[in-house]
Structure 1
């Protein structure tokens, strides 16, 4: 696995982080790499200022390097877009109860990272894909745990027979319509609720209003490695109750 990173600037001083090419010869090695990712993930969560690079109709550059699920762009509206995903298969965690989206995503990411590094019943490694998505079922109060399910998009070559793994289960999407709001920077617990609320608000009174799922469940999609400090693209997804014949 080869990761490249440009220098970052803190208080206008360039800081160079050296990231080596790593080949995993054991599960311990992959676990150590996962911990390195999480250390950077934890540090980067402090840098939550948006850096731009995201907007309606912006194609995540990550998807030019790794495989992402294919979709059709149905409409571009003010502050959001409507997509149709024709088919996608995901490997998902069991529900994770936590008060923090960031913590729950970190927990799920560790499970999924082990999975793609060979901790599955077939003992095979799987290519990294994007995005990693976290389905959020909000709690009833600010101090109550919400429920989170973290999922990894399974590459096409593995979708016919995805390797089983303890604590994970496959989810196959048929045709799904999704309202999407994009934003930059790092995802944080302090701002993700605002992003989701902004998407709900944008859809009110629109042609898509009646199709919005009223359960308040939404999904956060993250496309970038924690090592990428600029040009980050994140999305909030809302599933819409639409059938193709109605389009």
Structure 2
């Protein structure tokens, strides 16, 4: 009975990360929460990073090498709908539906790499990824219709906001992050990385979600703009 209950909690947790929570129980969003450590990372494993700069409404982090298990790109007009589709694949994966028949511990964040369409009613492309725990990273389990992303160390420009992620606020938060970076050396590095086809070139921005649907206080979400630069 306990195992069934634990699996249900894991399922609820991952579904919430991928679906954006409840629109009916959505606390007031507080954007620009620079430097707030996601409380979820005190309970479950998250990737390591170093804050190298704190700006007005953003911070710059340097992440170590990380490994992610990712869906194939999903075409949809809705981030929430696309990530609900991805949920079934990722939850089955951590429950043991992989080539190693291996159960995987829950981690955070779940990220969605977003490549918006040119038109307001056209489909965008969403790649949803689960952070692979460190103990599994040397030999991550392959799985059908999923692929492994091995990220080299990289910089990430980050904007934090609270509440639940929705189709309406992610674009606004991504635009606000870009605006806050204007005129900085970081903006130049991000643009150069995209032009060179390097880190960050495959998506416009990434949405990182950390919380379960049962947490209504202290929610932390992030917009990421990954990039490369010479150390």
Fold equivalence (TM over 0.5): yes
Q: 1:79 to 1:97 in 2, by over 3 A?
A: same
* SS of residue matched to 1:50: coil
Task: Tell me the CA shift for residue 36 of structure 1.
Answer: 9.2
Task: Tell me the CA shift for residue 110 of structure 1.
Answer: 2.1
Q: 1:156 to 1:204 in 2, by over 3 A?
A: same
**Which residue does 2:225 correspond to in 1?**
238
**Which residue does 1:229 correspond to in 2?**
216
Counterpart check, 1:48 vs 2:26: yes
Larger mean CA deviation between 177-186 and 118-127 belongs to 118-127
RMSD of the TM alignment (CA)? 2.6
Q: Distance in 2 between matches of 1:61 and 1:31?
A: 21
- Is the contact made by 2:16 and 2:213 (CA closer than 8 Å) also made in structure 1? no
Alignment of 1:98-177 (within 5 A): 98-177=76-155
Task: Tell me the CA shift for residue 22 of structure 1.
Answer: 4.5
- Is the contact made by 2:16 and 2:211 (CA closer than 8 Å) also made in structure 1? no
- Is the contact made by 2:210 and 2:221 (CA closer than 8 Å) also made in structure 1? yes
Alignment of 1:1-247 (within 5 A): 22-24=2-4, 34=11, 38=15, 44-50=22-28, 52=30, 55-213=33-191, 217-244=204-231
**Which residue does 1:7 correspond to in 2?**
none
- Is the contact made by 2:29 and 2:161 (CA closer than 8 Å) also made in structure 1? no
* SS of residue matched to 2:168: helix
Which ranges of structure 2 fall in alignment gaps of 5 or more residues? 195-200
Alignment: residue pair count: 221
Task: Tell me the CA shift for residue 220 of structure 1.
Answer: 0.1
Which ranges of structure 1 fall in alignment gaps of 5 or more residues? 1-20
Give 4+ residue runs of structure 1 displaced > 6 Å after superposition: none
- Once the two structures are superposed, what CA deviation does each residue of 1:124-158 show, in whole Å capped at 9, x if it has no partner? 11000000000000100111000000000000100
Q: Distance in 1 between matches of 2:31 and 2:158?
A: 15
Larger mean CA deviation between 200-209 and 69-78 belongs to 200-209
Using CA pairs under 8 Å that are at least 6 residues apart, name the structure with larger relative contact order, 1 or 2.
2
Task: Tell me the CA shift for residue 47 of structure 1.
Answer: 3.1
* SS of residue matched to 1:119: coil
- Is the contact made by 1:48 and 1:188 (CA closer than 8 Å) also made in structure 2? no
TM-score of the two chains, using structure 2 as the length reference: 0.87
Task: Tell me the CA shift for residue 72 of structure 1.
Answer: 0.8
Q: Distance in 2 between matches of 1:60 and 1:180?
A: 13
